[in-house]
Amino acid sequence: MPDLVTHVAGAYLVKRGVKITRYAALFYLGAMLPDLASRPLHIIWPRTLLASQAFHSPVGVFLICWLVSLFFRVDQRKRVFFLLIAGSFLHLVMDSGQKQLEGGYLWFFPFSMKTCSLGLFWPEDSVRFLPYTAIAVLIVYGFSKWREGREKL
């Protein structure tokens, strides 16, 4: 996985592109959800590494988003669910590019235990690229503020 700063930065760029204006915090939460549901478990209890991968799979993520949405008021549940799931799938797409020495993510779990990844970058490469990620976010932020200012005139 890339680090969570990169995941949130990716979510910010997508949010700007598709113009998510309401409840954006849920989209950001979704962009971190697969890692929040799985990583703390196996960092604290390393023996749960294999079990925690279930919560980083599309089916696991779908269930977690559904579960979280059920705690919201009934008229907001659909929106909450779709923002969480959109953020989570963006997360999984970003993760799919990384290389693994052994194994990878369980995309088709629980129907198949096959792992796959595109093998474009190592998990820690995102840390080295953080300055460039920050520059990209600042450019998009600056451009959108400039455009908002022009529209107000």
Residues that bind another protein (CB under 8 A): 3-5, 7-8, 22-23, 25-26, 28-29, 32, 35-36, 39, 42-43, 46-55, 57, 59-60, 63-64, 66-67, 69-74, 76-81, 101-103, 106, 109-110, 113, 122-124, 126-128, 130
DSSP classification of residue 34: H
Smallest separation, CB 30 to another protein (Å): 10
d(CA 93, CA 73): 29
Smallest separation, CB 113 to another protein (Å): 5
Nearer to another protein (CB atom), residue 89 or residue 123? 123
53: its two tokens:
């991968």
Nearer to another protein (CB atom), residue 88 or residue 126? 126
Neighbour count for residue 85 (Cβ, 10 Å): 20
Nearer to another protein (CB atom), residue 103 or residue 142? 103
Identity at 3, one-letter amino acid code? D
Chain length of the chain: 153
23 in Cβ contact with 83 (< 8 Å): yes
Smallest separation, CB 143 to another protein (Å): 20
CB neighbour list of residue 58: distance below 8 Å, 6 or more residues apart: 89, 92, 107, 109
Nearer to another protein (CB atom), residue 18 or residue 25? 25
